[in-house]
Amino acid sequence: MTSSSAPVPGPSGASPPSGPLRRLTARGRDEAHRVASPLELFFDLCFVVAIAQAGVQLVHAVAEGHPGEGILNYAMAFFAIWWAWMNFSWFASAYDNDDALYRIVTLVQIAGVLVLAAGISRAATQHDFLLVWIGYVIMRLALVWQWLRAARSAAGAERTTALRYAYGVLLCQVGWLGLVLLPEPSRPWVFLVMAIAELCVPLYAEKVQETPWHPHHIAERYGLFTIIVLGETIAAATVAVKSAVDEHEALGELLPIAAGGLLIVFSAWWIYFVVPIHGHLRSSGRAFLWGYGHYLVFASAAAIGAGLEVAVEQAVGKARISTLSASAAVTLPAALYLLTVWVLHSRHFKVGLAQQLVLPVTALLVICCTFLGEWAVLATGLVSAAAVATGVTLTARTAARQRAADAAAPAG
């Protein structure tokens, strides 16, 4: 494991000279035992605040009967959160040298995350994006500094790639001013245009030369962030249990929500981590699809937690929505999570039609659970748990058949 004080190996595996300041050179893509550093874990932890703020605003909007507006605001806020995390994580995978300057600049980025989190509420309720934009300025200027440091230490195509990243990030940051300066009705369109522009920056920059991100490290970083967003669902299930204790009159409605919420998050964790994905990421084309597709994985996982809180508020009479709407707040993000994890993860490791169909069929059944009234959340949890059990059984049978075939091969 790379400790926070150990020198970072370079591409050749040799350790650079020690000291508080070192050249920001590319790390080796095949570096052994590459894992997340304590600084990266601290960086992720600070995103919990921003994710929680986005979830709170989604809960309020859905519970008050404004799901369309709530989902749009949530999608915009979560994109800002996810993209800031993405920018840092892929850069760190390629260039983290863990010197004093790198740490300080990363701490500046963390400050920007906290400013962003503080502005999410105003963005959702008042459509005032100034504080969010300021938080992004802090994060992005720090990121540009990192890319310029990398460019200074590089040459040829690698230098061109780093400069393209730096200039692309700066131009996009200027474009995001539209959310602050333009009239409110135009802001969703500004968001759409700028989100596409942001997604194009890495595609353009890495046409020259691919940055040396580490597949195993990236897979671990995404897994850790998945745990963070699933933590929002754990928190929501805890709220359901607490409400069940406090609201004795609604005990029968709240306990199934709490039990179903726990089953959903346990199943979501199992389904995501059942297979190692790093070997699939060695192709850059696959890596882009996998990395970008996780916007839906992360956003839907956090939205499940928000949906559980909506279901709790509806059960105790604090939400102005029907039981059907409250159920849909849980089942729809759960189904989206299952489908996106299948597309990005599971389908690459399934053998045979039966294994391939488990998660798509489960997602369809979860959507059907929406119409089960107060039992919808518990039914969703049971269906998700059944998918895990079915997948484990089918995988075990396939492995047993393969072992039997391998044992019989020499005799044949």
Position 388 pLDDT exceeds 80: yes
Look at residues 205, 231, 263 and tell me which one is the last residue of a structural domain. 205
Q: pLDDT tens across 85-112, in order?
A: 999 999 999 998 888 999 999 999 999 9
**Quick one: what percent of the chain has pLDDT higher than 70?**
86
The answer to whether residues 93 and 162 belong to one domain is yes
**Quick one: what percent of the chain has pLDDT higher than 90?**
46
Residue ranges of alpha helices (H) inside 316-375 are: 323-344, 352-368
Q: Which range has the top average pLDDT, 221-235, 239-253, 271-285?
A: 221-235
Q: At what angle do helices 67-95 and 38-63 cross, to 10 degrees?
A: 170
The answer to whether residues 262 and 393 belong to one domain is yes
Q: What is the mean pLDDT of residues 113-119?
A: 91
Please give the Cα distance from 305 to 5 (Å, whole number): 37
The answer to whether residues 201 and 231 belong to one domain is no
| Angle at the Cα of 257 from the Cα atoms of 252 and 261, rounded to 5 degrees | 155
Please give the Cα distance from 158 to 375 (Å, whole number): 56
Q: pLDDT tens across 124-145, in order?
A: 888 889 999 999 999 999 999 9
Buried b (16+ CB within 10 A) or exposed e, 62-82: bbeeebeebbebbbbbbbbbb
Residue 247's domain comprises 215-406
Q: Report if pTM > 0.85.
A: yes
Q: Quick check: is 23 in a domain?
A: no
Domain total in the chain: 2
**pLDDT for the residue numbered 87:** 92
Q: Quick check: is 47 in a domain?
A: yes
The answer to whether residues 77 and 200 belong to one domain is yes
**pLDDT for the residue numbered 412:** 47
Q: pLDDT tens across 311-356, in order?
A: 988 888 888 899 999 999 999 999 999 999 988 876 666 666 777 7
Task: Please enumerate in sequence order all residues whose Cβ is within 8 A of that of 331, keeping only pairs 6 or more positions apart, or say none.
Answer: 307, 366, 367, 369, 370, 376, 377, 380
Position 395 pLDDT exceeds 90: no
Please give the Cα distance from 284 to 178 (Å, whole number): 32
Q: Quick check: is 257 in a domain?
A: yes
Please give the Cα distance from 261 to 259 (Å, whole number): 5
CA-wise closest residue to 63 among 376, 321, 374: 321
Look at residues 205, 227, 254 and tell me which one is the last residue of a structural domain. 205
The answer to whether residues 122 and 230 belong to one domain is no
The answer to whether residues 97 and 151 belong to one domain is yes
Q: Quick check: is 16 in a domain?
A: no
User: Residue 33 carries which side chain, given as an amino acid letter?
Assistant: H
The answer to whether residues 45 and 155 belong to one domain is yes
Q: Quick check: is 9 in a domain?
A: no
Please give the Cα distance from 23 to 150 (Å, whole number): 8
Listing DSSP states for 132-170 in one string gives HHHHHHHHHHHHHHHHHHHHHH--HHHHHHHHHHHHHHH
171's tokens: 């131009």
**pLDDT for the residue numbered 111:** 94
Look at residues 205, 231, 248 and tell me which one is the last residue of a structural domain. 205
Q: What is the mean pLDDT of residues 35-50?
A: 89
In the structure, what pLDDT confidence band is assigned to residue 2 with cuts at 50, 70 and 90? very low
The answer to whether residues 156 and 66 belong to one domain is yes
Contacts by 101-110 with C-beta closer than 8 Å and gap 24+?
101/20, 101/21, 101/149, 102/24, 102/146, 103/39, 105/142, 105/145, 105/146, 106/39, 106/43, 106/142, 108/138, 108/142, 109/43, 109/84, 109/138, 109/139, 109/142, 109/143, 110/42, 110/43, 110/46
The answer to whether residues 83 and 173 belong to one domain is yes
Q: pLDDT tens across 223-243, in order?
A: 999 999 998 778 777 776 776
**pLDDT for the residue numbered 351:** 63
Please give the Cα distance from 176 to 260 (Å, whole number): 40
The answer to whether residues 160 and 233 belong to one domain is no
CA-wise closest residue to 226 among 283, 261, 270: 270
Q: Quick check: is 11 in a domain?
A: no
**pLDDT for the residue numbered 372:** 93
383: domain CATH number? 1.20.1410
The answer to whether residues 392 and 252 belong to one domain is yes
In the structure, what pLDDT confidence band is assigned to residue 398 with cuts at 50, 70 and 90? low
**pLDDT for the residue numbered 5:** 38
Q: pLDDT: is 64 or 278 the higher one?
A: 64
Task: Please enumerate in sequence order all residues whose Cβ is within 8 A of that of 167, keeping only pairs 6 or more positions apart, or say none.
Answer: none
> With contact defined as beta carbons under 8 Å apart, do 228 and 47 qualify?
yes
Q: Quick check: is 210 in a domain?
A: no
| Mean pLDDT of all residues belonging to the chain | 85
CA-wise closest residue to 380 among 395, 394, 367: 367
One-letter-per-residue 3-state SS of 83-141: HHHHHHHHHHHHHCCCCHHHHHHHHHHHHHHHHHHHHHHHHHHHCCCHHHHHHHHHHHH
The answer to whether residues 194 and 230 belong to one domain is no
Please give the Cα distance from 289 to 214 (Å, whole number): 16
Q: Quick check: is 14 in a domain?
A: no
In the structure, what pLDDT confidence band is assigned to residue 121 with cuts at 50, 70 and 90? confident
